[in-house]
Amino acid sequence: MVARRAHDCVRRNGIWRVDVDGKGLRRLTPNGGEPSWSPNGREIALVAFNGHHTEVRVLNLATKAERVVSLPRQSVESPDWSPDGSTITYDTYSGPWAVRSTGGRPRPFDLPSEAGGVAWSPDGRKLAFTARIAATNNLDIYRADANGRHIRRLASYPVTSGESDVDWSG
């Protein structure tokens, strides 16, 4: 089990790990938040503050080494692994991006700039995401192919407050 300490999770306090029986509490990182386990359980994608912006880092649990996988000068949030562990998606102010989990050049998804909260389907073939449409003040829920193509709006509802994410069942 992994958790972040609330308050200012990106700048201090870090990510902690505890066994399901409540024993073995240990700090994994001195700063960071929004932890996302890799499908094989060997790494955690996280958001950390680098002094200027937030960035997506991947923490290797065996070596404790961290590597940055997002672009510099790009504030990020909500990292999420593809089911096969090959890709990490994350949100920016300009929309969602994807990068190979081993590193490389991140690429923007061909999704609306208002899109956020990208979630992979369990089989990795589809994405779900939300988009807050300013003109209507609605939050729309969409589905697309894993490459960002063939976008289909599934639902739309008025937003009263706060942010919303989407996730797949089963």
Does 170 map to a domain?
yes
Rg (alpha carbons) of the chain, rounded to whole number: 16
d(CA 19, CA 126): 32
Domain co-membership, 71 together with 103? yes
Does 114 map to a domain?
no
The residue segments making up the domain with residue 67 are: 2-108
Domain co-membership, 13 together with 79? yes
Whose CA is closest to 120, among 59, 79, 154, 156? 79
Label residue 32 exposed, middle or buried (CB < 10 Å: 0-12, 13-18, 19+).
Answer: buried
Instruction: Give pLDDT tens digits for 88-130.
Output: 998 888 888 889 999 888 988 777 767 788 889 999 999 998 8
Question: Residue 160, SS3?
Answer: coil
Domain co-membership, 102 together with 124? no
d(CA 2, CA 148): 30
Mean pLDDT, rounded, of the chain: 83
User: Rounded mean pLDDT of 34-57?
Assistant: 91
Does 87 map to a domain?
yes
% residues pLDDT > 90 (the chain) = 28
pLDDT computed for residue 143 by the predictor:
92
Does 113 map to a domain?
no
Does 131 map to a domain?
yes
Domain co-membership, 104 together with 123? no
